[in-house]
Amino acid sequence: MSRPLTATVDLEAILSNYRYAKQLHPTCKAFAVVKSNAYGHGAVRVAQYLEGDADAFAVASIEEAIELREAGIEAPIMLLEGVFEAAEWELCVEHNFWTALENPLQLESLLALGKPIEKVFVKLDTGMHRLGVSKEVAAQYVQTLRESGLVGEVLLMTHFACADDLADLTTMKQLTYFEQARQLIGGIEASVANSAAIMKWSVPEGGWIRPGIMLYGISPFAEVSGVDLGLKPAMTLTSKVISVRNVAEGDKVGYGLSYQAEQDHQLATIAVGYGDGYPRAADHGTPMLINGQAAELAGRVSMDMITAKLSSESAQGLAIGDDVVLWGAGVSVEKVAYWANTIGYELVTRMTSRPKIVYRDDESSL
């Protein structure tokens, strides 16, 4: 038997979540954000499945974009951070990539190349202070790009710092600044909304939305799960029990002997660890399912293994070969992330290459 750790990815769920994002903003086109290997779900397979439905894809680097083109993706692909060096512009022209543009070096090197680009999204810094320029500089960039005759369409984009916090007024302030910039520039299409904004904020209609985490059925909000938001979870991470023992009250378990049994109970050892992407920071009590029964982490996460017990004090019957759901169907990735003091984004994105990925549409694997 090979190591039983498997991430099962439901491509149909990702498509359905993409369609849901578009339904929420019927006047908008939507990038399917597939950067970072489609948040750990496999960028090529996800893009191949969405092609035909997705208006365009968005990635973080030219390498990610080229990987999709080489896999046969013909839809437009956008570089969310633009080019990192001048030489990339040639590749953008060759592969017809769209780009963000947010600094003078990107602007000058595009003008110096003098070749046509279909769409450029000038990035406005509306308050996150990570990428982008002020509204006055953005207006100059837009004018320069339009006058250059090199760009088919110039658009204006920004990114929200706090859209996942509905009580925080920063998003309103960012939207106000964005509208001021649009007034300064005059008619220009917009792209502002990530998943949180798509689902909960009032954003400009028309233009482009940029759903990422919601495509994978994961909530961007700390207090609500993807399922509560009407999303379909796309990834279920499963493994099996590989060893079972009885521990007595007072026995200690695992590295550092950090878990101590408060009573006699069975203990299961499961094939998953931080070498697979299961978070080492997951605390005792992190939920999972063993043979459909509520279970919880008991002991520190090792590189290849974890130890767990059934949550009900009276429960018995653990056996080698029992099925374990680590997250996905029945145990939300958001809840596991909460117990590991992180967010669902990080858990799925930092999966390593060790877990086998099985795609539910055709049961093939990578």
Q: Which residues are annotated as a binding site for substrate?
A: 130, 303
In the complex, least distance from residue 131 CB atom to ligand PLP, rounded to whole angstroms: 8
Summarize as ranges the residues that interact with ligand PLP (CB under 6 A): 33, 80, 159, 194-196, 210-214, 220
Nearer to ligand PLP, 58 or 92 (CB): 58
In the complex, least distance from residue 281 CB atom to ligand PLP, rounded to whole angstroms: 21
As a whole number of angstroms, the distance between CA 218 and CA 33 comes to 13
Nearer to ligand PLP, 211 or 279 (CB): 211
Chain residue at closest Cβ approach to ligand PLP: 212
Nearer to ligand PLP, 235 or 270 (CB): 235
SS percent in the chain: helix, strand, coil, step 5 = 30, 25, 45
- Of 123, 99, 133, nearest to 113 by C-alpha is 99
CA distances from 10 to 2, 39, 89, 216, 304 (A): 22, 14, 35, 9, 25
| Residue in this structure with the two tokens 């992330």, named with its chain if needed | 337
In the complex, least distance from residue 113 CB atom to ligand PLP, rounded to whole angstroms: 24
Of 18, 22, 35, 338, the active-site residue reads: 35
- Of 100, 105, 172, 176, nearest to 131 by C-alpha is 100
As a whole number of angstroms, the distance between CA 79 and CA 66 comes to 11
123 is catalytic: no
Helices (H), the chain: 11-24, 35-40, 43-50, 62-70, 88-95, 104-113, 135-148, 170-185, 195-200, 333-339, 344-349
Q: At what angle do helices 88-95 and 104-113 cross, to 10 degrees?
A: 60
Nearer to ligand PLP, 123 or 135 (CB): 123
In the complex, least distance from residue 35 CB atom to ligand PLP, rounded to whole angstroms: 7
As a whole number of angstroms, the distance between CA 329 and CA 325 comes to 7
- The sign of the CA dihedral 199, 203, 206, 208 is negative
Whether 366 contacts 44, CB under 8 Å? no
As a whole number of angstroms, the distance between CA 216 and CA 235 comes to 7
In the complex, least distance from residue 358 CB atom to ligand PLP, rounded to whole angstroms: 24
How far from chain centre, in Å, is Cα 273? Answer: 21
Whether 350 contacts 343, CB under 8 Å? no
In the complex, least distance from residue 263 CB atom to ligand PLP, rounded to whole angstroms: 43
Nearer to ligand PLP, 43 or 242 (CB): 43
What three-state secondary structure class fits 112? Answer: helix
Joined together, the tokens standing for residue 298 give: 């008991």
Nearer to ligand PLP, 238 or 349 (CB): 349
173 is catalytic: no
Query: Which residues are catalytic, by number?
Result: 35, 255
